Amino acid sequence: MAFEILAPSGVVPAIMQAVDGTLAAVRPGAIAVIGALGTGAVIAGQALAGWLLADFGSGVIHWAQDRYGSPRWPLVGGIVRDTIRHHRKPMGFLEKPVLARSARMIGLALVVLTALLVAGAPLAFALPLSAGIFLSNEIHAAAHAKARSLPRPVRALQQIGLIQSPLHHAAHHRHLKNVNFCTLTDWMNPVLERVRFWRRLEALIRYTAGVRIRRDPVVRRQQRRRWKAA
């Protein structure tokens, strides 16, 4: 009887019908919002993966040049020579015009982008990866530039580590020049250094192929000066 007073016949079905109607009305919108959020998260993840893969690729190339490259190598010997010169005079990198610094990377980026698109890679992954290759030398140059010479958006991106900051990159130019080979962000190097990725890879190459690392002449000169000063 009490229930009949509080909820007369027909009220509960009416409420349930109203709830069902409301849910039916908002369901398409909710599904669309959830779908958009999911799609956005996937696109963001693909873009970040492409950018970080470009950073890792810059590290592999940089590491190979620094640790094994020879100025006498055919085709790429000039690049290795430029790397040695850069270690001796880091700021000299900024004296070159943009095209001289990045012409090779533009060509490589176009080749990689074309190959990825032909292979059916998502555009959200392929574009950031190719952009990272294309911009790698310019981001490297920005890590050597004085802060006041850089646009404010560039400094902001350096501060969050999305592009490499001067403080982070400076660690590579200290002492043995055997850390922080990746030059695109502040995020990849700490992971690789924590697991000693490059040291383990060098040990594997030495064990399997008997190839030792090349001692950078700039490092050798710095070590001799420290020994003489000791």
Domain assignment present for 112: yes
The pairs formed by 57-60 with CB atoms below 8 angstroms and a separation of 24 or more are: 57/132, 57/133, 58/132, 58/133, 58/136, 58/181, 58/182, 58/183, 58/184, 59/181, 59/182, 59/183, 59/188, 59/189, 59/192, 60/181
Position 98 scores a pLDDT of 80
Domain assignment present for 224: yes
Domain assignment present for 118: yes
Domain assignment of residue 103, given as a range: 46-229
Domain assignment present for 22: no
Domain assignment present for 60: yes
The CB density around residue 53, as the number of other CB atoms within 10 Å, is 17
pLDDT per residue, tens digit, the chain (230 aa), is: 444 444 455 555 665 565 555 555 555 654 555 555 567 788 999 999 999 999 999 999 999 998 998 888 887 788 888 887 888 888 877 777 887 788 888 899 999 999 999 999 999 999 999 999 999 999 999 999 999 999 999 999 999 999 999 999 999 988 677 899 999 999 999 999 999 999 999 999 999 999 998 877 665 555 445 444 44
Give the span between the Cα atoms of 123 and 49, in whole angstroms.
12
Residue holding tokens 């492409």? Answer: 50
Helices and strands: H and E segment counts in the chain: 10, 0
Domain assignment present for 202: yes
CA-closest candidate to residue 87, choices 22, 201, 170 = 170
Position 82 scores a pLDDT of 81
Domain assignment present for 134: yes
For residue 133, what are the CA distances in angstroms to 9, 13, 50, 75, 116? 71, 63, 10, 19, 13
Give the span between the Cα atoms of 136 and 52, in whole angstroms.
12
Total structural domains within the chain: 1
Give the span between the Cα atoms of 176 and 207, in whole angstroms.
22
Domain assignment present for 38: no
Position 5 scores a pLDDT of 46
Position 94 scores a pLDDT of 76
